[in-house]
């Protein structure tokens, strides 16, 4: 199923549909937008027909300087059956030849009152968000002190209960059970909840609760950039767990690597506090304060001092 169709941008950006209504369900497959300057001059050798075509004041003025025959010929070529839509900015008047060609080839012809550059920016941002590579992860996403923390682990390990404790401590829930992740830019992962699960949290023995209803609007947020992944697993006495924090493990989601911490779970451990501290420690590391590194340097100095005394 297409992620974005022409009909979607008409609704999202409040465009006026002028002609070519039969083609409004065409898929939009690229975030690139075309300003057909060379094409209007007659050069169609590399015409990117699969892109949304945007005509501003310059293009419309140039069209007015063409002969009627040239205009008709170029409008016909511009309205390629593969083109998802042609948009006129600034509320400009549309050439009659373009109206005829758009209706003939079922290419949606739309108009906006926005300036060309501003509209191009808004449309690009919308398409990049909707067409970004995406995946879904079984887990919980919480905003802790501004750090988007993705909590993963086997079913029943305590992810949702930990999220509930974090919300109670003043942090914000983004998604529970299923986290939809989009790579909106290079090394930028944005997590959201599926529409069906927004603001909901499932607690075994209690059932489904609405976090916003119980804790207020400040306890939830619609999306968050994911910076840290914390994997919960049952404590294994035979496994070695990091006790210093010098080694930084990474996990790759789509094409982006983020820091991953593995936290063992057993009775008596306050996971909410541990994850809260992990988020604060992550922020400190990004600010250049690394407690593990400082401890190692102190230890090295102590050992060096003892060696010098010998």
Instruction: Convert the pLDDT of each residue in 187-244 to its tens digit.
Output: 899 999 999 999 999 998 899 999 999 999 999 999 999 999 999 999 888 887 777 7
Distances (CA, A) of 277 to 18, 104, 144, 149: 56, 63, 9, 12
Annotated binding site for ATP: 153-160
State whether residue 264 is helix, strand or coil. strand
Neighbours of 121 (CB within 10 A): 13
Annotated binding site: 153-160, 202
- Give residue-wise pLDDT tens across range 144-183: 999 999 999 998 899 999 999 999 999 999 999 999 999 9
Superfamily of domain 6-131: HprK N-terminal domain-like (3.40.1390.20)
Annotated binding site for Mg(2+): 160, 202
pLDDT of residue 267 exceeding 70, the answer is yes
Rg for the chain, CA atoms, rounded: 27
Percent of the chain with pLDDT over 90: 81
Instruction: Say what the pTM is.
Output: 0.77
* Element holding 60 (H helix, E strand): helix 57-64
Q: Are 24 and 138 in contact (CB under 8 A)?
A: no
Sketch the domain layout of the chain as residue ranges. 6-131, 134-296
Sign for the pseudo-dihedral over CA of 91, 19, 8, 121: negative
**6-131 and 134-296 share one fold:** no
Tallying the residues shown for the chain, one arrives at 310
Question: Is 97 buried (19+), middle (13-18) or exposed (0-12) by CB count in 10 A?
Answer: buried
Q: Which residues are paired to 253 by β-bridges?
A: 256
Q: What is the mean pLDDT of residues 296-309?
A: 76
pLDDT of residue 308: 64
Give CA–CA dist 41/226, Å, rounded: 46
pLDDT of residue 306 exceeding 80, the answer is no
**CATH number for the 134-296 domain, one of 3.40.50.300, 3.40.50.2000, 1.10.10.10, 3.50.50.60?**
3.40.50.300
Give the pair of three-digit tokens for residue 70: 């040239």
96-105 and 68-78 helices cross at what angle (nearest 10)? Answer: 30
CA dihedral 206, 211, 214, 219 (to 10 degrees): 140
Q: What is the mean pLDDT of residues 119-126?
A: 95
* Residues annotated catalytic, as ranges: 138, 159, 177, 243
pLDDT of residue 243: 74
């Amino acid at each position: 199923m297409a992620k974005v169709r022409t009909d979607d941008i008409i609704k999202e950006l409040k465009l006026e549909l002028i002609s070519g209504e039969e083609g409004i369900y065409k898929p939009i497959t690229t975030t690139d937008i075309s300003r057909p300057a060379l094409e209007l001059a007659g050069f169609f050798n590399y015409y990117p027909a699969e892109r949304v075509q945007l005509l501003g004041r310059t293009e419309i003025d140039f069209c007015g300087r063409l002969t009627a025959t040239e205009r008709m010929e170029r409008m016909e070529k511009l309205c390629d059956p593969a083109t998802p839509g042609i948009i006129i900015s600034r509320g400009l008047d549309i050439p009659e030849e373009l109206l005829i060609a758009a209706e003939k080839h079922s290419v949606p012809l739309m108009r906006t009152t926005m300036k060309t550059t501003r509209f191009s920016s808004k449309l690009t941002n919308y398409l990049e968000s909707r067409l970004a590579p995406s995946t879904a992860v079984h887990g919980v996403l919480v905003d802790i002190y501004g750090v988007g923390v993705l909590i993963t682990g086997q079913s029943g390990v305590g992810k949702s209960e930990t999220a509930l404790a974090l919300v109670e401590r003043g942090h914000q829930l983004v998604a529970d059970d299923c986290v939809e992740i989009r790579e909106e830019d290079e090394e930028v992962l944005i997590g959201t909840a599926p529409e069906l699960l927004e603001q909901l949290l499932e607690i075994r023995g209690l059932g489904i609760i609405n976090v916003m209803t119980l804790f207020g609007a400040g306890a939830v947020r619609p999306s968050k950039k994911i910076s840290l992944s914390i994997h919960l697993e049952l404590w294994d006495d035979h496994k070695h767990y990091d006790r210093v924090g010098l080694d930084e493990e990474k996990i790759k989601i789509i094409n982006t690597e983020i820091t991953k911490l593995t936290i063992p779970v057993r009775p008596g451990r306050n996971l909410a506090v541990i994850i809260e501290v992990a988020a604060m420690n992550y922020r400190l590391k990004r600010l250049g304060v690394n407690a593990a590194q400082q401890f190692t340097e102190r230890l090295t100095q102590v050992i060096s001092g003892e060696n010098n005394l010998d």
